[in-house]
Chains A and B, each alone.
Chain A
Amino acid sequence: MNIQTEQFVEVARREMADLTSRAFLQLLPPVIAAMRKAGMATFPDPDAANEYSRAIRAEVVARLPELLEEFEANATARGATVIWARDAKEANDFILNLALERGIKYVTKGKSMVSEELGTNDVLIRNGIEAFETDLGEFIAQQLHRPPFHIVGPAVNVSVQEVCDLFMEKAGMEEPTTDPVELGYAARLYLRDKFHHLEMGITGVNMAVAETGSIINVENEGNIRLTKSSPRIQVSVMSIEKVVPNMEDAMHVLRLLCRNCTGQSISSYVSIDTGPKKDDEIDGPEELYIVIVDNGRSDLYGDVKAREALRCIRCGACLNHCPVYATIGGYPYGWAYSGPMGQVLNPLLLGLERTQDLYRACTLCGACKEVCPSGIDHPSMFLYYRSKDVKGDGELKGKKRDWKEVSIFKLFTLASTLPWFWNMGIRLLRPLYNRNAENGVVTHMSGPFEGWFRTRNLPAIPSKTFHERWKNIREKRSS
């Protein structure tokens, strides 16, 4: 998929002008947030449950190298083949060559954000192998050629009428309908057929259990289970941070993942698979490949602050609580990952220079941090990225800011350490700022604050600061 993180402002403006999208965004986040809240309330102690999963995710990141090796050893011992992919090309090359070698005509896919990150579909399709997304939302997004709108609900913004038209055109639906059950049935008829003759399936991974070598997938549609169990060849693609130490930890993270995703105590399907089909088993793939994707993550592992991003379990709770996401939707973020988790992850994977808006378009309100079951402090990550960007940090590919901004902050800071200079600065600034003031209100201004004044006023700066008024207060008090 095309990376369009640089077009954030442009796409955001377009999305805000889309009234259907705006109306939908007013509706969805509060509904999902309420479902999450109800789900969390089923814990005897929701805060403790949260802290426990945060601790697990912190441990995962701290022990990542050894956990991955442990996972590889145990998965291999159970008959899986583990492939380490340094970047998108290595991962895609492996999947493509495997498919070509085995004469595969098409694959089915379970929803996998890492495959969006890698652009796996594009590579397969370019080489003559069809890739059918089998998650309903992902299927719709794929057919409409749109990026995922939400990491959990990729096409959650698409209207039911649009889905009807699409299914009439591309999924062989014969009678138009806007009934969700009938639409679901039409997609099922179309996609189920693909599973009957399936030779190779590709899915993502929600958790990889180091102690047992098992792979866990969480879903509500059953398509991932079909993709994992019908074909002869199964490829599971995971980014390095998906590993967890053991099954107990996995089960606890699962409780948080489901509640944060959809408010469910548990999703409709949870598949735990350990190795390929054994001789005495009736189903499952004969060959299981687990592609472990780095794609730039281990480069930043030495940066203890930055690697906090790897705690994420992709539950989407931060998106549903972000007031900026609720205003602009998922498209402006320009890549597979959107909302606060994308704002944390994309800059690390793509570099700070081309993701400027992702870590700056945030009011630091902290709603994401408050709900995060992985213990990510998003606002503090954004401050960190901004600081690295200002310094033009090489590791994180920062850009440095223009000299005017740098000078302003240097001067401002100097003033903040010298009270006489600070107060003189205010006296000099006042007439300049007030030159457009009328009746104590400033209604327009050119320059960097122009955007603010398009729809908002500010008070004029009064003739005396509090600092200057204090002298009167002090004198009155002593007399």
Chain B
Amino acid sequence: MKKVSMFIPCTVDIMLPEIGEQTFCLLERVGVSPIYHEEQTCCGQPALNAGYVDEARKSAKHFIEVFGDDDAVVSPSGSCLHTAKYRYPELLSDEPVWLRRAEELSSRLFELSQYIVDVLGVEDVGASFEGTITYHESCHILRGLGISEQPKKLINAVNGAEFIPLNNADKCCGFGGEFAKDYPDISEAMVNDKVQNFIASGADLLVLCEPGCLLNINGYLSRNHPGKRALHIATLLADTGREVRS
């Protein structure tokens, strides 16, 4: 059986561990054997985004040490993957040996939906959901990694589900890591726009592929619109055959 290494970002590991389990289940279901390196930690994105490049470089090297020998690394997050895939080579541009390792690893890093659809060629993972689903195009998934059709194909193949387009689906939800902490008013206005569009779509569920957006949108929904919920795509697809929590 094909082995694939899971990169479980710290947001998922700490705050949303069930998404890690669902990623595992989903990968097993589509016929690969997931492995998990217990030495994995944080990719360094928070430090990098805050301007601490020397620190981020250390985290990057640790990441490369941990995942460097894997044939394929799959992650249920776009921004962390984007960091490893595209920011590491920039960070390590002055260190030729590390740069080469970063570049080699870069081509073997995949986002979860991308891996299932593009690499494994699977769209129907046997999931079912009775209701309507809309999709939020997370910035680092869409513009960072160029992934948009893959998750939609997976959603469209869910038995019983009807896909509904989301107005301004590609507009940022206002998370941005430190941005949400440092500029909470602006961030709130942005997440409110996103949530209003979700509600206006009439969809039962808002599905996305990015844990950061999930914490932001669900954090806002749970406070202001308790009946509504966003789901990570792994949750939607792995919780097959039974009612998805909503």
Which residues of chain A have a CB within 8 Å of any CB of chain B? 9, 12-13, 16, 22, 26, 30, 323-324, 327-328, 357, 360-367, 369-370, 380, 383, 385-390, 401, 405, 409-410, 412-417, 419, 422, 426, 441, 443, 448-449, 451-452, 454-459, 461-462, 464-467, 469-470, 473-474
Contact = CB atoms under 8 A, between A and B. Distances in A.
Nearest to A448: B181
B49 A386 contact: yes
The 3 closest A-B pairs by CB, nearest first: A363-B176, A451-B184, A386-B51
B23 to A, nearest CB: 9
B26 to A, nearest CB: 13
B47 A412 contact: yes
Please tell me the size bucket of the interface on B.
35 or more
B131 to A, nearest CB: 23
A107 B76 CA distance: 61
Q: Which of A13, A386, A412 has the most CB of B within 10 A?
A: A412
A16 B220 CA distance: 18
B190 interface: yes
Nearest to A469: B17
Given A327-B190, A363-B174, A457-B219, A464 B179 contact: no
Given A417-B58, A452-B181, A470-B38, A389 B186 contact: no
Interface string B50-84: 11110110110110000000000000000000000
Interface of B: 8, 12-18, 20-21, 24, 36, 38-42, 44, 46-53, 55-56, 58-59, 61-62, 87, 90, 139-140, 143-144, 168, 170-172, 174-191, 193, 215-216, 218-220, 222-224
A361 B189 CA distance: 14
A363 B59 contact: no
A327 B139 contact: no
Given A12-B185, A390-B52, A457-B219, A363 B16 contact: no
Contacts of A362: 176, 179
A366 B41 contact: no
A409 B178 CA distance: 13
A426 B174 contact: no
9 contacts: A367-B139, A367-B172, A383-B51, A386-B51, A390-B53, A419-B41, A456-B220, A458-B15, A462-B18
Given A466-B12, A467-B38, A470-B38, A456 B55 contact: no
A417 B38 contact: no
Q: Is the interface of A mostly helix, strand, loop or mixed?
A: helix
Contact of A366 (B90, B139, B218): B139
A366 B138 CA distance: 11
A336 to B, nearest CB: 22
A267 B58 CA distance: 51
Nearest to B42: A416
Given A365-B172, A456-B223, A461-B15, A413 B188 contact: no
B172 A363 contact: yes
Contact of B17 (A370, A390, A465): A465
B176 A455 contact: no
Contacts of B143: 365-367, 369-370
A380 B90 contact: yes
Given A419-B39, A454-B184, A383 B55 contact: no
B231 to A, nearest CB: 13
B63 to A, nearest CB: 8
Contacts of A361: 179, 182-183, 186
A203 to B, nearest CB: 35
B205 to A, nearest CB: 18
Given A417-B61, A443-B223, A451-B181, 18 more contacts: A12-B186, A16-B185, A26-B193, A365-B143, A366-B140, A386-B51, A387-B51, A416-B42, A416-B58, A416-B62, A417-B62, A426-B13, A452-B180, A456-B216, A457-B219, A462-B17, A465-B14, A466-B8
Nearest to B24: A473
A387 B53 contact: yes
B192 to A, nearest CB: 8
Contacts of B50: 386, 390, 405, 409
Contacts of A401: 51
A390 B51 contact: yes
Nearest to B216: A456
